[in-house]
Amino acid sequence: MITADNLPETTRDGKFDLVAYLKAKQQLCEAALEKALPMQYPETIYEAMRYSLLAGGKRLRPILCLATTEMLGGTTDMAMPTACALEMIHTMSLIHDDLPAMDNDDYRRGKLTNHKVYGEDIAILAGDGLLAYAFEYIAAQTQNVPPQQVLQVIAKLGKAVGAAGLVGGQVVDLESEGKSDTSLKTLNYIHRHKTGALLEICVVSGGVLAGGTPEDLQRLSAYAQNIGLAFQIIDDILDITATQEKLGKSIGKDQQAQKVTYPSLWGIEESKKQAEQLIAEACAQLKPFGEKAQPLLALGHFIVSRDR
């Protein structure tokens, strides 16, 4: 079994090996998530929460948190409870996003969506359960981090997922369905909040846990905001170009919902260029961190080159 102490080599020929790095970190996250949420009474709700939380996925959000803590000299153990909480919140946002009242989707991560298996009532509660547990988990399980820093993570996370963040972005997204005159400003608002806010707190929380300076946190925010927007541009492109098998969820939904997207405004080629430009700007922010920034630099490039 892979643990924090026996991670496989993540450099090959002197070069950072992102594939090995992701594999090792994914395994650590899977084990930590499994341990974080054991089955118990009432089984129905724990089963529904575990169904979506343990359904695989890239685990990009927890890995961003771990990578940032480690870049600033912290340890995996310091960041793992927050990393797990970030995946719990990401998962709950997808459970709710897939509900009939929102995107009404049948598949997620290659499996039937939560409400298709457990019904809408339990799916709503599974999301609520994961959201509440995420905050409990950070507060109760974080060790070897000064309490003031843990409190800062909790406060920033609350802001990132509430009406000033994810929830606000989702509301404007829902309101913009069927409106072909949605402006670039509104589109940026949606994605900076719906997707960007969570990616930003993944990186920033890692920085806070490791005791980053205000300047470090500023640079981390800028890095994360840029990769967040690039991530969304690529998501929009994949909704047009990828297959359902590859993505594990239905495709072509943006067009169906008559949503304005980056490719619908700029075309696919220009959208790719914009995403690459954003990643270049993101990576420039990490210069002062030198060699230690390799995982975050590689993750940035992975985001624009991903095909699922």
Nearest-CB residue for Mg ion: 103
Closer residue to Mg ion, CB minimum distance, 100 or 119: 100
96 binds ligand FPP, rule: CB under 6 A: yes
State the nearest-atom distance from the C-beta of 292 to ligand FPP, in Å: 29
What are the two backbone dihedrals, phi and then psi, of residue 27, each rounded to the nearest 5 degrees?
A: -65, -40
Sketch the per residue contact string, 169 through 188, with ligand FPP: x for CB under 6 A, - otherwise.
Answer: -x------------------
Closer residue to ligand FPP, CB minimum distance, 156 or 249: 249
The stretch near ligand FPP (CB under 6 A) out of 67-75, 163-171, 206-214, 282-290 is 163-171
Q: Do 246 and 122 meet the contact criterion of CB atoms below 8 Å apart?
A: no
Name 11's bridge partners.
16
Give the one entry of ligand FPP, Mg ion, none that residue 261 binds, where binding means its C-beta sits below a cut-off of 5 to 8 angstroms depending on kind: none
CA angle 134, 136, 142 (to 5 degrees): 95
Closer residue to Mg ion, CB minimum distance, 97 or 235: 97
The only residue of 103, 173, 200, 236 in contact with Mg ion, by rule CB under 5 A: 103
Closer residue to Mg ion, CB minimum distance, 87 or 216: 87
**CA 287, CA 65: separation in Å to the nearest integer?**
18
Residues of span 191-250 touching ligand FPP by CB under 6 A: 194-195, 249
Give the one entry of ligand FPP, Mg ion, none that residue 93 binds, where binding means its C-beta sits below a cut-off of 5 to 8 angstroms depending on kind: ligand FPP
Closer residue to ligand FPP, CB minimum distance, 79 or 166: 166
Sketch the per residue contact string, 253 through 272, with ligand FPP: x for CB under 6 A, - otherwise.
Answer: x-------------------
The only residue of 22, 145, 166, 220 in contact with ligand FPP, by rule CB under 6 A: 166
Structure token digits, residue 148:
């003031």
Sketch the per residue contact string, 276 through 295, with ligand FPP: x for CB under 6 A, - otherwise.
Answer: --------------------
The stretch near ligand FPP (CB under 6 A) out of 33-41, 151-159, 164-172, 270-278 is 164-172
The only residue of 70, 87, 97, 239 in contact with Mg ion, by rule CB under 5 A: 97
50 binds ligand FPP, rule: CB under 6 A: no
**CA 162, CA 166: separation in Å to the nearest integer?**
6
Question: How does DSSP assign the chain, residue by residue?
Answer: ---TTSPPP-EETTEE-HHHHHHHHHHHHHHHHHHHS---SSHHHHHHHHHHHTS----HHHHHHHHHHHHTT--HHHHHHHHHHHHHHHHHHHHHHTSTTTT--SEETTEE-HHHHH-HHHHHHHHHHHHHHHHHHHHHH--SS-HHHHHHHHHHHHHHHSTTTHHHHHHHHHHTTT-TT--HHHHHHHHIIIIIHHHHHHHHHHHHHTT--HHHHHHHHHHHHHHHHHHHHHHHHHHHHS-HHHHTS--SHHHHTT---HHHHH-HHHHHHHHHHHHHHHHHTTGGGGGGGHHHHHHHHHHHH---
The only residue of 93, 176, 261, 264 in contact with ligand FPP, by rule CB under 6 A: 93
Structure token digits, residue 244:
């359902």
Closer residue to ligand FPP, CB minimum distance, 179 or 253: 253
The residue ranges that bind Mg ion (CB under 5 A) are 97, 103
The residue ranges that bind ligand FPP (CB under 6 A) are 89, 93-94, 96-97, 102-103, 131, 161, 166-167, 170, 194-195, 249, 253
